[in-house]
């Protein structure tokens, strides 16, 4: 397990996708705002930023539930620590025609009828430990994103699969500041796009 506590340690649940023909998508993602969505999920005290996107142009096997779990393990992350989860499940509107949809732990998949990119939207943050109820640290959204990206970029392997990840920062999709942000913690407005290729 990665030593830094991140909300994204809870990235994924393991479920196996079988019997599907996987095809590479045509776009990285669709901007949720174009379909009435937003780059913030719906949390208890405001929205949490969807500050990392795994591109729909990534290798198709990465974008399945089982595949992204394996990818997370290659980067030093795992399922939520020992199965514990604090906090209520959240929803997000990715502008894909599904309106608000439930999270799969910390992942939201853009796969609706009007914007089916297959991209995965993540709410990354850095938290305090369980004894402090996993409250966010100061600047926890930006730091969580940056640490997740730093762990992912480059070439990593897990269980016989090798991944290469390239990151690109995007501005203009998310407003900077703390207005409407969960816990009143300011964000810098940067979303990082990860494109993951299986070697």
Sketch the domain layout of the chain as residue ranges: 7-198
pLDDT for 12 beyond 50: no
What is the tens place of the pLDDT at every residue in 64-86? 988 998 999 999 986 554 333 44
The pTM for the full model equals: 0.83
What is the tens place of the pLDDT at every residue in 21-76? 445 568 999 999 999 999 999 877 789 999 999 999 999 999 998 899 899 999 99
Specify the pairing of strand 191-198 against strand 161-170. antiparallel
Q: Please return the burial class of 53, using the count of CB atoms within 10 Å of its CB with bins 0-12, 13-18 and 19+.
A: buried
pLDDT at position 105 is 57
Q: Judge whether 46 and 181 are in contact, CB under 8 Å.
A: yes
Contacts of 167 (CB under 8 A, 6+ apart): 149, 152, 153, 192, 193, 194
Provide φ and ψ at 106, rounded to 5°. -105, 15
pLDDT at position 106 is 62
Q: Judge whether 143 and 49 are in contact, CB under 8 Å.
A: no
SS3 13: coil
């Amino acid at each position: 397990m990665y030593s830094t506590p991140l909300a994204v340690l809870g990235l994924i649940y393991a479920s196996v996708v079988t019997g599907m023909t996987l095809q590479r998508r045509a776009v990285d993602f669709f901007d949720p705002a174009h379909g009435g969505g937003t780059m913030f999920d719906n949390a208890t005290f405001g929205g949490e930023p969807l500050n990392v996107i795994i591109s729909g142009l990534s290798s198709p096997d990465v974008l399945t539930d089982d595949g992204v779990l394996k990818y997370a393990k290659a980067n030093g992350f795992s399922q939520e620590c020992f199965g514990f989860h604090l906090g209520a499940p959240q929803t997000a509107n990715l502008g894909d025609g599904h309106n608000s949809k439930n999270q799969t732990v910390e992942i939201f998949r853009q796969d609706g009828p009007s914007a089916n990119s297959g991209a995965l939207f993540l709410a990354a943050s850095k938290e305090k430990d369980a004894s402090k109820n996993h409250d966010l640290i100061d600047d926890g959204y930006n730091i969580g994103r940056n640490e997740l990206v730093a762990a992912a970029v480059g070439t990593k392997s897990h269980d016989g699969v090798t991944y290469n990840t390239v990151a690109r920062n995007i501005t203009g999709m998310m407003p900077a500041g703390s207005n409407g942000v969960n816990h009143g913690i300011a964000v810098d407005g940067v979303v990082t796009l990860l494109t993951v290729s299986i070697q």
